[in-house]
Structure 1
Amino acid sequence: MTASTANDQRFREFKMPDVGEGLTEAEILKWYVQPGDTVTDGQVVCEVETAKAAVELPIPYDGVVHELNFGEGVTVDVGTVIISVDTDPGAGPVAPAAAPAAEAPAAPAAPEEDEEPQGRQAVLVGYGAAPSSTKRRPRRQQPGVPAQPAALQAELNGHAAPAVAPAPAAPVAAPAPAPAPAPVASAPAAGRPLAKPPVRKLAKDLGIDLATVTPTGPEGIITREDVYAAAAPAPAPAVTAPAVTAPAAVAPAPVPAVVSADRERRVPVKGVRKATAQAMVASAFTAPHVTEFITVDVTRTMKLVQELKQDPDMAGLRVNPLLLVAKAFLIAIRRHPDVNAAWDEANQEIVYKDYINLGIAAATPRGLIVPNIKDAGTKTLPQLATELAELVSTAREGKTSPAAMSGGTVTITNVGVFGVDTGTPILNPGESAILAFGAVKLQPWVHKGKVKARQVTTLALSFDHRLIDGELGSRLLADIAAVLEQPRRLITWG
């Protein structure tokens, strides 16, 4: 057995698994082990965040951690090796691979334009290149333009190069005395000023000609600070003159404001935020949305909430207005089952569903997620309260499983907890309707022919107009309102 074969059998590599349904990447949130630590089969070694939830990953091997391939905060593609384990640490040092046959030394040849330089590793899809593994095409020298210094050209190309001492400048004849000109940018003769692409874009955005900018970076590179300095107004020159009576003050001309880079923050779009953005764009520009509104007197519902809190059957359960709104939504869907459907674009079919998976939009530290209660239409009020409380608690802890966020049919978003009257919610992809529950406020309301202070809220229902026409959507929303106005319909209709 060769040394390389023995090493392959000894070291086991653990790849990033697909911890959801078709997920392609995950971010490493935290490592629980370090190189040299002993691990056992089934031990959790790290926590990763997918586009749907945070998940702990167990290692399937016994041994000693040999190497962690990525640090915390790095997004890794599914199928990429993230950790290697030495399954036979008592075997001693790693056997070296057989060396190739000795050859006469030869001067290294310059790589072809499309050839990968020796000693570099292939870059995994989705990670970007490491500083030492970036491949660039060499710049072609234009006729009549002097070559850039090697170290400077390497820096602009994105990788290091051996330092080369600059050749001494050839002596030139001294020009005739002349007034000293204003400082100008030092740039290569007959070449464009040296600046990296982000700096060039900044100069273009600010309307600055790089040829007029004085570089302060190494080897004459123009930096962002140089561009900002060029954009700032020039100070007035000092002038020695006899004292004269000052003229009336004149307001200075307005100067365009220049925003410093240290007053902005850039955060990579990833994890839950990335998944939410992609889903909302896909939904908004795929399903034709219609939103309808209704204002409802929920005074009786709010009284029922207080009564249920004293009910022995609801002891220990969280009873709130959202619970009764969810129950009203489920009852209305049961009365109009055609609402509970999905549009299958690939097969050009409408899929009617005999189950209701009720999604609840939950704000978490990682962003908005929408887990759902499976078969919510079959739950009693105590069961619905129990599952709703567990769903919200798990979501806030960041422990919601990918399965809990898949397969939803309709959703409720409770914007009222933020004091918002209502909104125009966007459908969760693949779902037919979403109900926004606004803030409950004490307002003047005509009740039994008299204006009285009543507790009122506004509901907004967005639905997919391919599946639900205006009549069906209106009847659904009216039924939800009817249950909340007269909560006894929870019994008579449910």
Structure 2
Amino acid sequence: MSVQEFALPDLGEGLTESEIVSWEVAVGDAVELNQVLAEVETAKALVELPSPFAGTISELLVEPGTTVRVGTPIITIETADAAGSGPTVETPSIPAKPPAAVESIPDAPEPPPAPQAPAPPETPPAPERTSVLVGYGPKVASEERPRRRHRREEWLASRSAAAEESQPASDAAPQHPNLSLPGERGGDTRVPIAGVRRRMAEAMVHSAFTAPHASLRLDVDVTESLALVERLKRHPRLEGTRVSFLTIVAAACLSALRTSPAINSRWDAERDEVIEFANVGLGIAVATDRGLLVPHIHDADRLSFAVLAREMAELVTSAREATTTPAQLAVGTFTITNVGVFGVDAGTPILPPGEAAILALGAVRRRPWEHEGEVALRSVVSLTLSFDHRLVDGRQGSEFLTAVGDILGDPSGALAYR
């Protein structure tokens, strides 16, 4: 019998850390090869972590709610053989550096004795062989301690002490009676920035300071689009498929992108090239309890309307249930964000990194609108297109936005149940 140590892998996403959400096993449990050990939250999704060994759980080294770096040991498993069930990676030993030679000057009159050369450093022992899954890499040493979530009980327990420490000294300047400084009464809460929220923040900062943003806005009468949604819900080919106004907007964007290659492109600074994509990786921004996710439908422009509607519904559901796969969260080419579901009329979105444009969809409002020569109450929505001005100029952005608006104004002929 031997005890095998399992370190947190990078899960194939190139990430540096993950959070142990929950353990699916306990000490003393017998596990099989590839049995789920834990649920892990990366910066993109919840992932089930399989066991690389068959044996008995010896120790859980990390508590749920702890964020650990890739390569950190998280569990030990007692196995029947010394080699373990998984492949191993040999880490070569580092040879000791030879001592520097001591020079002497010939014919020098009675030179003082040469200083004793320092003893050569001992050769460090070769690291133990670590059994890991193929592609996971060997254990990585790190001086960083795992970060724990600040749970409600922790700050409640320290609330009284924090309030006492935050009281101003008697000789301090008087405070405004209605001003409550952070921590003054111990009611502030510190929430670790990790997982999806951290990834989102890093991506937005990178995008804002690397791509020159510009935006255009267009108000559109979408009364006919909303009527089409109701007809499509009753269409026999779409029975059981969730069709919404967002589905119509996505189809309109995919149709307009056919004649707007600049909108579906990417700036490659390393090679000084512009990549115009042959197909569309359509991203749908989804607000979740873990933060904003943008899963993608790859080759969305090749799908029929019915398949597109099903893919979009499944994408939103999986994002909210934290079952989105890393492949779905890979970089896309064009994104739609629906801020209208929160009652917002319009907004100027920040570009997802690597994309040329993003469309923000506002809330649909009943507004007085000119229709067939008269003023009538119509359903109107605001469309805002943000774009990378290196890739898209004002004319190109305007042509794309008006093309989308034209389709939404009269959708029956342009969409034709793609």
Q: Could you tell me whether the CA contact under 8 Å between 2:263 and 2:334 is conserved in 1?
A: no
Separation (CA, whole Å) in 2 of partners of 1:421 and 1:228: 44
Q: What SS class does the counterpart of residue 336 from structure 2 fall into?
A: strand
One-letter code aligned to 1:450: E
Structure 1 equivalent of residue 145 of structure 2: 128
Separation (CA, whole Å) in 2 of partners of 1:253 and 1:278: 36
Q: What SS class does the counterpart of residue 456 from structure 1 fall into?
A: strand
One-letter code aligned to 1:58: P
Q: What SS class does the counterpart of residue 338 from structure 1 fall into?
A: coil
Q: Could you tell me whether the CA contact under 8 Å between 1:49 and 1:271 is conserved in 2?
A: yes
The alpha carbon displacement at 1:68 in A equals 1.4
1:323-375 residue CA offsets vs partner (Å, 9 max, x unmatched): 00000000010121232111112222111110101000001111110000010
1:84 aligns with 2:76: yes
1:52 aligns with 2:44: yes
Q: Could you tell me whether the CA contact under 8 Å between 1:228 and 1:258 is conserved in 2?
A: no
1:22 aligns with 2:39: no
Q: Could you tell me whether the CA contact under 8 Å between 2:67 and 2:146 is conserved in 1?
A: no
Structure 1 equivalent of residue 157 of structure 2: none
Separation (CA, whole Å) in 2 of partners of 1:336 and 1:253: 59
Separation (CA, whole Å) in 2 of partners of 1:412 and 1:465: 18
Structure 1 equivalent of residue 212 of structure 2: 288
One-letter code aligned to 1:12: Q
Aligned pair in 2 of structure 1 residues 396, 224: CA closer, same or farther (>3 Å)? closer
Separation (CA, whole Å) in 2 of partners of 1:128 and 1:395: 30
1:103-129 residue CA offsets vs partner (Å, 9 max, x unmatched): xxxxxxxxxxxxxxxxxxxx9526338
Aligned pair in 2 of structure 1 residues 226, 275: CA closer, same or farther (>3 Å)? closer
Separation (CA, whole Å) in 1 of partners of 2:364 and 2:178: 47
Separation (CA, whole Å) in 2 of partners of 1:126 and 1:330: 49
Structure 2 equivalent of residue 302 of structure 1: 226
The alpha carbon displacement at 1:410 in A equals 0.4
The alpha carbon displacement at 1:448 in A equals 1.1
One-letter code aligned to 1:57: L
Aligned pair partner of 1:359 in 283, 290, 294: 283
Separation (CA, whole Å) in 2 of partners of 1:493 and 1:475: 23
One-letter code aligned to 1:85: I
Please list, as runs of the form range in 1=range in 2, the aligned pairs for 1:220-231 lying within 5 A after superposition: 225-226=164-165, 228=167, 230=169
- Give me the CA root mean square deviation: 2.6
The alpha carbon displacement at 1:51 in A equals 0.5
Structure 2 equivalent of residue 435 of structure 1: 359
Structure 2 equivalent of residue 67 of structure 1: 59
Aligned pair partner of 1:32 in 15, 24, 27: 24
Structure 1 equivalent of residue 320 of structure 2: 396
Separation (CA, whole Å) in 2 of partners of 1:70 and 1:254: 46
1:274-317 residue CA offsets vs partner (Å, 9 max, x unmatched): 00000000001111111100000001111101111111011000
Aligned pair in 2 of structure 1 residues 253, 387: CA closer, same or farther (>3 Å)? closer
Structure 1 equivalent of residue 369 of structure 2: 445
Q: For the pair shown, which has the larger CA radius of gyration, 1 or 2? A: 1
The alpha carbon displacement at 1:407 in A equals 2.7
Separation (CA, whole Å) in 2 of partners of 1:64 and 1:56: 19
Aligned pair partner of 2:244 in 320, 327, 344: 320
Please list, as runs of the form range in 1=range in 2, the aligned pairs for 1:406-485 lying within 5 A after superposition: 406-485=330-409
The alpha carbon displacement at 1:229 in A equals 5.0
Aligned pair in 2 of structure 1 residues 53, 126: CA closer, same or farther (>3 Å)? farther
TM-score (norm 2): 0.78
Q: What SS class does the counterpart of residue 219 from structure 2 fall into?
A: strand
Structure 1, unpaired ranges of 5+: 1-6, 90-122, 131-216, 218-222, 235-251
Aligned pair in 2 of structure 1 residues 354, 29: CA closer, same or farther (>3 Å)? same
Separation (CA, whole Å) in 1 of partners of 2:180 and 2:223: 54
1:384 aligns with 2:323: no
Structure 2 equivalent of residue 370 of structure 1: 294
Structure with bigger helix share is 1
One-letter code aligned to 1:404: Q
Q: Could you tell me whether the CA contact under 8 Å between 1:232 and 1:258 is conserved in 2?
A: no
Separation (CA, whole Å) in 1 of partners of 2:20 and 2:146: 18
TM-score (norm 1): 0.66
Separation (CA, whole Å) in 2 of partners of 1:232 and 1:318: 66
1:213-248 residue CA offsets vs partner (Å, 9 max, x unmatched): xxxx9xxxxx872551525999xxxxxxxxxxxxxx
Separation (CA, whole Å) in 2 of partners of 1:492 and 1:303: 14
Count of residues in Structure 1 that have an aligned counterpart in Structure 2: 347
Structure with bigger strand share is 2
Aligned pair in 2 of structure 1 residues 458, 81: CA closer, same or farther (>3 Å)? same
Separation (CA, whole Å) in 2 of partners of 1:83 and 1:451: 69
Please list, as runs of the form range in 1=range in 2, the aligned pairs for 1:162-177 lying within 5 A after superposition: none
Q: Could you tell me whether the CA contact under 8 Å between 1:20 and 1:403 is conserved in 2?
A: no
1:311 aligns with 2:201: no
Please list, as runs of the form range in 1=range in 2, the aligned pairs for 1:76-115 lying within 5 A after superposition: 76-88=68-80
1:134-158 residue CA offsets vs partner (Å, 9 max, x unmatched): xxxxxxxxxxxxxxxxxxxxxxxxx
1:149-186 residue CA offsets vs partner (Å, 9 max, x unmatched): xxxxxxxxxxxxxxxxxxxxxxxxxxxxxxxxxxxxxx
One-letter code aligned to 1:43: Q
Q: What SS class does the counterpart of residue 391 from structure 2 fall into?
A: coil
Separation (CA, whole Å) in 1 of partners of 2:176 and 2:68: 49
Please list, as runs of the form range in 1=range in 2, the aligned pairs for 1:200-349 lying within 5 A after superposition: 225-226=164-165, 228=167, 230=169, 255=177, 257-259=179-181, 260-349=184-273
Separation (CA, whole Å) in 1 of partners of 2:12 and 2:198: 15
Structure 1 equivalent of residue 116 of structure 2: none
1:391-437 residue CA offsets vs partner (Å, 9 max, x unmatched): 01111100111110103000000111111111000011111110001
Aligned pair in 2 of structure 1 residues 79, 453: CA closer, same or farther (>3 Å)? same
Structure 2, unpaired ranges of 5+: 82-139, 148-160
Separation (CA, whole Å) in 2 of partners of 1:129 and 1:396: 27
Q: Percent identity?
A: 48
Q: Could you tell me whether the CA contact under 8 Å between 1:301 and 1:321 is conserved in 2?
A: yes
Q: What SS class does the counterpart of residue 381 from structure 2 fall into?
A: strand
Aligned pair in 2 of structure 1 residues 353, 126: CA closer, same or farther (>3 Å)? farther
One-letter code aligned to 2:55: G
